[in-house]
Amino acid sequence: MSTLICDIVTPAQKLCALECSMVVVPGVEGEMGFLEDHAPLVSTLADGVVRVLTDDTTVAARYALQGGYVEVTGKKVIVLADRAVSIDGIDVAVVKEQITDVQAKLSNIADEAEKQVLEIDLKWYQLLEHAVQAN
CATH of the domain at 52: 2.60.15.10
Q: What global pTM score does this model have?
A: 0.91
User: Number of structural domains, the chain?
Assistant: 2
Range of the domain at 106: 91-134
CA 119 → CA 16, 50, 87, distances in Å? 28, 22, 21
Pairing of strands 30-34, 48-53: unpaired
Provide the strand spans (E) within the chain: 4-9, 14-20, 22-27, 30-34, 41-44, 48-53, 59-72, 76-86
Lowest mean pLDDT among 23-27, 97-101, 104-108: 104-108
pLDDT band at 2 (very low <50, low <70, confident <90, very high): low
**Statement to judge: residues 99 and 84 lie in one domain:** no
Tell me the sheet residues that pair with 86.
63
Query: How many CB atoms are located within 10 Å of the residue 109 CB?
Result: 13
pLDDT band at 134 (very low <50, low <70, confident <90, very high): confident
Q: Is the pLDDT of residue 54 over 80?
A: yes
Higher pLDDT, 110 or 49: 49
Residue 11 one-letter amino acid: P
Dihedral angle sign, alpha carbons of residues 11, 18, 45, 122: negative
**Statement to judge: residues 120 and 57 lie in one domain:** no
CA–CA dist 50, 35 (Å, integer): 14
**Statement to judge: residues 52 and 114 lie in one domain:** no
pLDDT (0 to 100) of residue 56: 78
**Statement to judge: residues 74 and 36 lie in one domain:** yes
**Statement to judge: residues 76 and 101 lie in one domain:** no
**Statement to judge: residues 74 and 96 lie in one domain:** no
